[in-house]
Amino acid sequence: MTIATLLVANRGEIACRIFRTCRDLGITTVAVYSDADADALHVREADLAVRLPGAAPADTYLRGDLVVAAARAAGADAVHPGYGFLSENAAFAAAVQDAGLVWVGPPVKAIELMASKTRAKELMAGAGVPLLAPVDPATAGEDDLPLLLKAAAGGGGRGMRIVRELDALPGEVLAAAAEAASAFGDGEVFAEPYVERGRHVEVQVMADAHDTVWALGTRDCSLQRRHQKVIEEAPAPGLDDALRTRLHEAAVAAARAVGYRGAGTVEFLVSADGRPYFLEMNTRLQVEHPVTEAVFGLDLVALQLRAAEGEPLPSPEPPQPSGHAVEARLYAEDPARDWQPQTGALLTLEVPEGPGLRLDTGYTGGDTIGVHYDPMIAKVIAHAPTRTEAVRLLARALERARIHGPVTNRELLVRSLRHPDFAAARLDTGFYDRHLADLTAPGAGRDPATAALAATLAEAVGGAEAGRGVVAGRPTRPGGPAPARFGAWRNVPSQPQRKRYRSEPDGTEHEVAYRTPRTGVPEPYETPGTRVLTATPDHVTLEVGGVTRRFAITVHADRVHVDATDASYTFTALPRFTDPATHAAPGSLLAPMPGTVVRLAEDLAAGVTVEAGQPLIWLEAMKMEHRILAPASGTLTALHAAPGHQVEVGALLAVVQEGPAATTPVPVPVPEETA
């Protein structure tokens, strides 16, 4: 059957990615969207769109019945699940086919066999694929530690926990089961040995209905936070030919064992001594598929559609790989604050274009990053003849990108790509556990003080031009006199004007002094070695220590974004005097982000005694669960949260009074994320 109209049962970046291939193939596209996504990019790019009433995933993108009904209403003849949501749900795949629609994915039986990680391991053992022996948590001993708990029906790090102490095992099993049940509707968890300093290596497979299975090389996905991938590359560096061959053969054996068809990924853990162990098979397209596409010169989505139409793969053997590709996931999150997700308006998103660079995204400048879904903004991919060239190209593209809005992990990505361990391909899943503090520390080579100076000069020029009836070189009051302005040139010496900024997100304050001389061009005051070459409201060029540096300045309300050639800075312009109303009461627990209160500590109520660090409130935001901890030992004097409540960032959740007579403000801790 030839596919004419395709519905993508997903959202964001992956929906846009699939639509791109459909446009190239002449296939009509259908989007589904929740109320929160009504103006999302994937909706704007689709030919047709169908609303799924509600905002939460459980009410929208996880409702298979509504998605099938949407496909019928739009006249679609096929459904592509993307990744996440219902992409590995066998019942949904069956429902799509029962409705007479083409399922762009593997057979239902293959999904069922691989849906449970415990059953998949049994099947792989029978096929001769190497794997880690499971450990029964009920009988585990000290010799079995450390253990890794995993959700049998899950993925994406949900329900996953590392246990290093035997006493903690029962509680962690219960917590993992509760999270798995909430995320996947299945609370089954299992345990296996945790391999220290293991590498996460996977093999992309592609199969058709004519007994052809391709193993499309390896990918290394070892750089992870909370068991979720951050940087991926192909091919996986540093593997010898024997190990690479063994991984390819094991992946093909896994695919053949379940009668696979379409795109899938077989994931392995490779120990420090080079032994591979089967982890799971993802019966869908992976987030990191672009690096394989770049190296092999393929469109995996086009091949998925071809396989779904019953066509054979183009040849019995896959094409030869060429070069190296690296992908970085750009997230709206603050790595320095325990990877806390961020929300808000994405004001600007501009990533350099050019040979070897690719951007996959579900956002454009002006869109809003909400609380209901994963905080990934985009994937940036670089392809070059060698690994060194690809890594360098990607780091520079990220460094030069203009990203204005919520805090992102952009600087962490750049530093990771340039870290000596990454450059030398010394990769393992503990990379961020060891290096996060250094990677998020105030960076050498950054110069926020000079960036704040550029912001100040741009504002001063803008104010002066507005006063003369000119903004950005254009008259604003043609024919009328220019009103006088405070702060312009004076005929007598005067004290310098001052401007204060706060760096985001670290909170460092900068005070800049400047004067406006007879020339009308503001100049820094008491800043030796710095000279203003040009200054407009949007661009400032400075000579600093004999080196010319250029800055682009963008202002959004009280936020000022300064993009230099080697770094980007975000400032909040501070008023001359602090508003006392902005101070929270001592001991106040404020919501660190918009979200939903999912549960409270047992018997939590006003008047109870709490201990410092005790989890009091659980918030769910952006597919992650966050614990709000007691800031100090004392009495809970107020509780404003209840399960099911939607809260905005900064909302007062509770108040803890430290001791019987607290008189000093209590700092609110950064919430600890449990996902």
Q: How many domains does the chain have?
A: 5
Q: Helices then strands (H, E): number in the chain?
A: 15, 41
Does residue 115 lie in a domain region?
Answer: no
Does residue 112 lie in a domain region?
Answer: no
The dihedral over CA atoms of 205, 206, 210, 212, expressed in degrees to the nearest 10, equals: -50
- pLDDT of 464 reads 62
Residue 267 is encoded by which pair of tokens? Answer: 């994931």
Q: What count of other Cβ atoms lies within 10 Å of the Cβ of residue 1?
A: 9
- pLDDT of 116 reads 76
Query: CA-CA distance, 96 to 102, in Å (whole number)?
Result: 7
Within this chain, do residues 9 and 53 fall inside the same structural domain, yes or no? yes
Residue 133 is encoded by which pair of tokens? Answer: 């022996």
- pLDDT of 577 reads 59
Query: CA-CA distance, 669 to 572, in Å (whole number)?
Result: 22
- pLDDT of 578 reads 52
Does residue 481 lie in a domain region?
Answer: no
Residue 139 buriedness (CB in 10 A; 0-12 / 13-18 / 19+): exposed
Residue 262 is encoded by which pair of tokens? Answer: 């379409």
Within this chain, do residues 160 and 229 fall inside the same structural domain, yes or no? no
Does residue 600 lie in a domain region?
Answer: yes
Of 151, 168, 193, the last residue of a domain is 193
How does DSSP classify residue 506?
Answer: T
Query: CA-CA distance, 152 to 184, in Å (whole number)?
Result: 9
CA-based nearest residue to 206, from 82, 308, 81, 85: 308
Within this chain, do residues 377 and 228 fall inside the same structural domain, yes or no? yes
User: For residue 634, what is the domain's CATH number?
Assistant: 2.40.50.100
- pLDDT of 583 reads 56
Of 517, 542, 574, the last residue of a domain is 574
Within this chain, do residues 431 and 541 fall inside the same structural domain, yes or no? no
Query: CA-CA distance, 38 to 55, in Å (whole number)?
Result: 10
User: For residue 253, what is the domain's CATH number?
Assistant: 3.30.470.20
Query: CA-CA distance, 216 to 287, in Å (whole number)?
Result: 15
Does residue 52 lie in a domain region?
Answer: yes
Q: Are 91 and 111 in contact (CB under 8 A)?
A: no
Q: Note every long-range contact of 168-171, with CB atoms under 8 Å and residues 24 or more positions apart, other chains counting.
A: 169/137, 169/140, 170/137
User: For residue 493, what is the domain's CATH number?
Assistant: 3.30.700
Within this chain, do residues 298 and 394 fall inside the same structural domain, yes or no? yes
- pLDDT of 435 reads 96
Which residues lie closer than 8 Å to 227 by C-beta, 6 or more apart? 156, 157, 160, 429
Within this chain, do residues 472 and 570 fall inside the same structural domain, yes or no? yes
Residue 370 buriedness (CB in 10 A; 0-12 / 13-18 / 19+): middle
- pLDDT of 334 reads 95
User: For residue 164, what is the domain's CATH number?
Assistant: 3.30.1490.20
Domain extent for 496: 448-476+486-574
State residue 256 phi and psi, 5-degree precision: -70, -30
Of 172, 193, 214, the last residue of a domain is 193
pTM: 0.83
Within this chain, do residues 452 and 548 fall inside the same structural domain, yes or no? yes
CA-based nearest residue to 275, from 343, 352, 181, 195: 195
Within this chain, do residues 409 and 262 fall inside the same structural domain, yes or no? yes
Which residues lie closer than 8 Å to 507 by C-beta, 6 or more apart? none
Query: CA-CA distance, 213 to 260, in Å (whole number)?
Result: 8
- pLDDT of 475 reads 41
Within this chain, do residues 333 and 239 fall inside the same structural domain, yes or no? yes
Within this chain, do residues 367 and 418 fall inside the same structural domain, yes or no? yes
Does residue 117 lie in a domain region?
Answer: no
Which residues lie closer than 8 Å to 646 by C-beta, 6 or more apart? 594, 595, 596
User: For residue 82, what is the domain's CATH number?
Assistant: 3.40.50.20
Q: Give me the amino acid identity at 662.
A: A
Mark the ranges of the chain whose per-residue pLDDT is less than 50: 469-489, 579-581, 661-675
Does residue 121 lie in a domain region?
Answer: no
State the Rg of the chain over Cα: 28
- pLDDT of 175 reads 85
Query: CA-CA distance, 616 to 622, in Å (whole number)?
Result: 20
Does residue 122 lie in a domain region?
Answer: no
Within this chain, do residues 363 and 505 fall inside the same structural domain, yes or no? no
Within this chain, do residues 175 and 228 fall inside the same structural domain, yes or no? no
